Structure 1
Amino acid sequence: MIRTEVSGDVTTVTMDRPARRNALTRAGLDDLAAAVEAAETPVVYLTGADGAFSAGADFDEVAQLDHDSARQFARQGQRAARTIETAESVVVAGIDGPARGGGVELALACDLRVATPDATFAETGVKLGLFGAWGGTVRLPRVLGEGEAMDLALSGRVVDAAEAKQMGLVSRVVEDPGAVAQEVAANEPDALAAVKRRMRDGTDRVVQEAREAEVFADLVVEHAADLRR
């Protein structure tokens, strides 16, 4: 489900489950966090296989969860996102094709988000009675501002790459996001690490994430039948 390849100063971590648009199970979340944490290069390039970034949580698995395991699943996603956010490496998200729900949230945890013209974004959980609980209610307003974040999260609408760039969800729209990761990696590693540490300093989200996971678990139990495909 997670592939890792090292080339020079860049470790590429690929979510590789194309039959499910790279949706992540509990095991997949742990493998993703482990791959990012194990990287020893100055830059990690996070991407998805075969024309999709990630559909986020695997709803077939989510539909089987009870309240306690749903809360634990949300916490797993939050830990994976925090691992990305706090990694020693600079993490660049390369987004090609759809990013949905948890896929958007994992991208939000990255230090730099770069999209192709084919990338699309949506927080579609509200259509199923859920919401983004991998740190989404924390990071989305911090990245976009409250107005844009509310619009994206409450509507469930799909945003294309051009609009994502306009609202600040991605910083660039290019044909090859991997080239941006290489561009970043060409800089001095100590300087990259220092910039990341300073810009990430002072962020405290522990209480918010705990509350987010609890509400998510309530909704999973309430809407389990709607999640089954």
Structure 2
Amino acid sequence: MGIVTIDSPPVNALEQQVLDELDQIVTNMPKDVDVVIVTGAGGKAFVAGADIKDFPELKKETGIELVKKGQRIFDKIAALEQPVIAAIDGFALGGGLELALACDIRIASKRSKVGFPEVNLGILPGYGGTQRLPRLIGPGKAKQLIFSGDPLSAEEAKQAGILEEVTEDSPMEKAKELAETIAKRAPLGVRKAKKAIDEGLNTTLEEGLHIEAVAFGELCDTEDKNEGVAAFFEKRQPNFSRK
């Protein structure tokens, strides 16, 4: 597995250098990494948001430029072939929640809080929050969270559908356990499944079913399909080769 840690004390703000480094890491993610985990260092925050020091001088054009950069990087995370798990311990606010939303699965500690406080600053979520959150939990609940600017507890976020799991244990350990489980499965099958889900959500059910059928057919021509079926009949663990 690959672990990406945001380490920008004291609250892991998304400073421009942090975004640049994240961009490089995601762009150069090795193909043989089966699962990616994104987390924050320090235990206080996953990511507390964008660096507000950048905001006073922003005008229309520089504001658009700023958020387009963040959107592009988060789009790269969402588009990774591998499943991406966010391990959240502490605050995931603003850009931090948007980073988590770009991941496939979100696991958080019970003490964590998530939210979009941007309206308190006279702005709005700009790294994909107004687009990814409604697609995940529906427009009404997303509007309630974004318009109020109020954070949700981890349990509230799970009930809303933002988090998949809330744990009293370390979310990083839970994320690793899930990553290890996924890594034992056929990597090509997992990646095709992710692609079929993501592409299908952006189209009609009919077109999505076609995407699914094509992906299934393509997997039927792989060595991993043959290995998986053989291992099933031989009652042994499969040895997948990514071919």
2:170 is matched with: 176
Once the two structures are superposed, the pairs formed by residues 1-229 of structure 1 within 5 Å of their partners are 10-19=1-10, 21-40=11-30, 41-51=33-43, 52-174=45-167, 175-177=169-171, 178-179=175-176, 180-201=178-199
In the alignment, the residues of structure 1 paired with residue 24 and residue 200 of structure 2 have an alpha-carbon distance, to the nearest angstrom, of 24
In the alignment, the residues of structure 1 paired with residue 146 and residue 199 of structure 2 have an alpha-carbon distance, to the nearest angstrom, of 26
How far off is 1:202 after superposition?
5.3
Q: TM-score, normalised by structure 1?
A: 0.80
Residue deviations 1:87-114 (CA, integer Å, cap 9, x gap): 1221110111000001111111111111
Percent identity, aligned pairs only, is 39
Name the count of aligned residue pairs.
194
Query: Highest relative contact order (Cα 8 Å, sep 6+), 1 or 2?
Result: 1
Q: TM-score, normalised by structure 2?
A: 0.76
In the alignment, the residues of structure 2 paired with residue 18 and residue 182 of structure 1 have an alpha-carbon distance, to the nearest angstrom, of 29
How far off is 1:26 after superposition?
2.3
Q: Tell whether the 8 Å contact from 2:8 to 2:18 is kept in structure 1 after alignment.
A: no
In the alignment, the residues of structure 2 paired with residue 181 and residue 18 of structure 1 have an alpha-carbon distance, to the nearest angstrom, of 27
Instruction: Report the AA paired with residue 115 of structure 1.
Output: A
In the alignment, the residues of structure 1 paired with residue 135 and residue 48 of structure 2 have an alpha-carbon distance, to the nearest angstrom, of 22
Q: Tell whether the 8 Å contact from 2:108 to 2:165 is kept in structure 1 after alignment.
A: yes
Instruction: Report the AA paired with residue 189 of structure 1.
Output: P
- Give the match's secondary structure for 1:18: coil
Q: What is the alpha-carbon root mean square deviation over aligned residues?
A: 1.5
How far off is 1:68 after superposition?
1.9
Deviates more, 1:113-122 or 1:29-38: 29-38
How far off is 1:203 after superposition?
6.3
Q: Which runs of 5+ in 2 are unaligned?
A: 203-243
How far off is 1:191 after superposition?
1.5
In the alignment, the residues of structure 2 paired with residue 86 and residue 31 of structure 1 have an alpha-carbon distance, to the nearest angstrom, of 17
Instruction: Report the AA paired with residue 18 of structure 1.
Output: P
2:241 is matched with: none
In the alignment, the residues of structure 2 paired with residue 111 and residue 172 of structure 1 have an alpha-carbon distance, to the nearest angstrom, of 12
How far off is 1:158 after superposition?
1.4
Residue deviations 1:2-50 (CA, integer Å, cap 9, x gap): xxxxxxxx1100000122x111122321211221232220111001011
How far off is 1:119 after superposition?
1.2
In the alignment, the residues of structure 2 paired with residue 13 and residue 57 of structure 1 have an alpha-carbon distance, to the nearest angstrom, of 18
Deviates more, 1:122-131 or 1:187-196: 187-196
Instruction: Report the AA paired with residue 192 of structure 1.
Output: V
Deviates more, 1:81-90 or 1:172-181: 172-181
In the alignment, the residues of structure 1 paired with residue 65 and residue 98 of structure 2 have an alpha-carbon distance, to the nearest angstrom, of 17
In the alignment, the residues of structure 2 paired with residue 82 and residue 55 of structure 1 have an alpha-carbon distance, to the nearest angstrom, of 19
How far off is 1:67 after superposition?
2.5
